[in-house]
Amino acid sequence: MIVIQFLAMLTMLIDHIGLIWFPDNPAWRIIGRLAMPFYAYAVVLGYFRTGNIGRYLKRMGFIALLSQLPYQIAFHQLEVNTVGSLFVCLLLLVLMDKWKEKRAVQVLLAAGAALLVELVPFSYGAYIVLLVLIYRYAAVQWMTLFHFSLSVVSLAVKGFGWILQLFSLSATFLIVYMPDSLRKLDGIRIPRFIWRSFYPAHLLLLAALRDLPAIQ
């Protein structure tokens, strides 16, 4: 998981730097499109690997709350930040497994979560909920196709402004077809405090730097 964690943090940082200081250069945002799928996949892995789902939920909720104000200041956004969206996704996974014998209830839960994150709104909206469900329930060989289909439908619904999200497919492609040489690195661990604190810490730093003179 270390490769996914490292790439998630790196591509997110690149994305946010581009969003704040280089909004007219799409290269930053293209690279940054990989971040959210990596985080979404990490949440699914964490869901299966955690020994205490209640603690996992509380920790993610706390990180989301801690990140909200820096997120709003850094990006001038009123929506709930991405960790908040992932918190809803994690809670959805818990509830869907609780009702795994009731397919109709699972469908209603998924639809309710997708509607919630669209209406409030949360970062990435229903897209992130559906992508997490793809990573949770789709067979590995179908993940790339399902992610591509989700991106195409989202583009049709949300318009041309959503076209950059098509580049997020590269993240799923890497997750599915990651070379064995990179998978072997999973024995190495990124310190937990770095992984858990990176999102709010980097937002706080970017929020503090936003109003400084532009990078030359």
Is 33 in contact with 147 (CB distance < 8 Å)?
Answer: no
Is 135 in contact with 41 (CB distance < 8 Å)?
Answer: yes
Would you say residue 137 lies in a domain?
A: yes
Would you say residue 83 lies in a domain?
A: yes
pTM for the full model? 0.93
Would you say residue 88 lies in a domain?
A: yes
In sequence order, the β-bridge partners of residue 80 are 122
Would you say residue 189 lies in a domain?
A: yes
| Mean pLDDT on 58-70 | 97
Residue 148 has pLDDT above 80, yes or no: yes
* Residue, of 215 and 148, whose pLDDT is higher: 148
Would you say residue 197 lies in a domain?
A: yes
Domain count of the chain? Answer: 1
Q: Which domain holds residue 151?
A: 2-209
User: How far, rounded to the nearest angstrom, does the alpha carbon of residue 167 sit from its chain's CA centroid?
Assistant: 14
Q: How many CA atoms lie within 13 A of 90 on its CB side?
A: 29
CA atoms of 98 and 55, how far apart (whole Å) = 17
Would you say residue 69 lies in a domain?
A: yes
Q: How confident is the model at residue 25 (pLDDT cuts 50, 70, 90)?
A: very high
Would you say residue 203 lies in a domain?
A: yes
3-state secondary structure of 80: strand
In sequence order, the β-bridge partners of residue 21 are none
Residue 54: count of CB within 10 angstroms of its CB? 9
Is 192 in contact with 59 (CB distance < 8 Å)?
Answer: no
| Mean pLDDT on 35-59 | 96
Torsion of CA 125, 38, 142, 26, to 10 degrees: 70
What pLDDT does 210 receive?
81
Is 34 in contact with 172 (CB distance < 8 Å)?
Answer: no
| Mean pLDDT on 15-39 | 96
What pLDDT does 184 receive?
65
Would you say residue 215 lies in a domain?
A: no
Determine the number of helices (DSSP H) and then strands (DSSP E) in the chain: 11, 0
Residue 185 has pLDDT above 80, yes or no: no
CA atoms of 142 and 122, how far apart (whole Å) = 27
